[in-house]
Amino acid sequence: MSDSSKAMNLRFPDPQQREAIAAAARQAGVSMQEFVLTAAYERATAVEQHFLDAFKRSMKRSGEAFAAEDGVLDPTGEQRAAELAARAEFETTERGHAA
């Protein structure tokens, strides 16, 4: 089995594009296959990093929004007691209607 049969088959419809890639690969001192795979990997990791950065910014904005509404998310003891009393009253009323 020859070494070329293991190589990735690179087809470029545009001969100028193929020559530009071949020249860039020669300049980098690597095969065309390695050059193309490296470029694809670098592009994929750049896209991934862009997504992660946007996600981190989104998480930060969400955290800031929730922090701004502190009283809504963390009720005081008085609010909790009032909610429990209202719930108990509601449940008592509901049981009375069901009976």
Given this model, what pLDDT does residue 74 score?
63
Across the chain, which has 99 residues, the per-10-residue mean pLDDT values are: 58 88 95 93 94 91 72 71 86 63
Q: Please tell me the pTM assigned to this model.
A: 0.49
Ranges of each domain in the chain: 1-56, 69-99
Given this model, what pLDDT does residue 50 score?
92
18 Cβ contact partners less than 8 Å away, ≥ 6 residues apart:
10, 12
Given this model, what pLDDT does residue 47 score?
93
Given this model, what pLDDT does residue 1 score?
43
Q: In 10 A of CB 31, how many CB atoms?
A: 15
Given this model, what pLDDT does residue 27 score?
96
Given this model, what pLDDT does residue 34 score?
94
| Amino acid symbol at 97 | H
Given this model, what pLDDT does residue 72 score?
58
